[in-house]
Structure 1
């Protein structure tokens, strides 16, 4: 029982870490390869501390890791299966979108 509760707590904390659009975008960028903060900001078209703040959350929840490289930190996914999780979430979203479009077409044709 205790292991089950611990697993449920881990899952809840893990999904809380993912529960922000910018954190998802950061993970999508990192799923394509390791990057430093400046590279992530440039790829996302953002400036300022927003990316650093969200990276700190992801790091605290052990979703990403950072490795010092001179004066910068290179961020990477702690587990490559996060990439697969993002792909599955995308497929689920696509399925919901297809269902919504189908429903709208049915309504329109009635």
Structure 2
């Protein structure tokens, strides 16, 4: 059972492992969007967006509903919003840590020059 959960997590994160797919999810945080709206917001051609939506659909991360000729996409699970927020927080923490280290190195270099 444990192996099944780990495999699910690995497959889930693989499905998220593309900048365009992450950007699509970020757009869908605000609510459902048509394929044309997604393409317009991302300034990407239809085939690139369709390919990435297909991956997200296959992993049940998003779902599409047809309305005439248009397909509207939504997040399947609202927890994705929290996951994206956590990822942003982790990124910010890494950024703060990197800036702090750079500042420490700069201070250290400046102290070495003063000797």
Answer whether TM exceeds 0.5 for this pair. yes
- Which moves more between the two structures, 40-49 or 18-27? 40-49
Bigger RCO (CA 8 Å, 6+ sep): 1
Q: Structure 1, unaligned stretches of length 5 or more?
A: none
TM-score (norm 2): 0.91
Structure-1 separation of matches of 2:102 and 2:8: 38
Q: SS in structure 2 opposite 1:74?
A: strand
1:48 Cα deviation from its structure 2 partner: 3.1
Q: SS in structure 2 opposite 1:49?
A: helix
Partner residue, 1:41: 39
Structure-2 separation of matches of 1:48 and 1:11: 29
1:103 aligns with 2:96: no
What CA deviation, in whole Å up to 9, does each residue of 1:50-107 have, x standing for no partner? 0010000000011100111111111000000001000000000000000000000000
Partner residue, 1:10: 8
Tell me the number of residue pairs that the alignment of Structure 1 and Structure 2 aligns: 108
1:4 Cα deviation from its structure 2 partner: 1.1
Structure-1 separation of matches of 2:85 and 2:18: 17
Q: Choose 1 or 2 for highest CA Rg.
A: 2
Q: Structure 2, unaligned stretches of length 5 or more?
A: 109-115
TM-score (norm 1): 0.95
Structure-1 separation of matches of 2:67 and 2:29: 19
Structure-2 separation of matches of 1:50 and 1:41: 9
Structure-2 separation of matches of 1:42 and 1:14: 26
Aligned with 1:19 (options 10, 17, 20) = 17
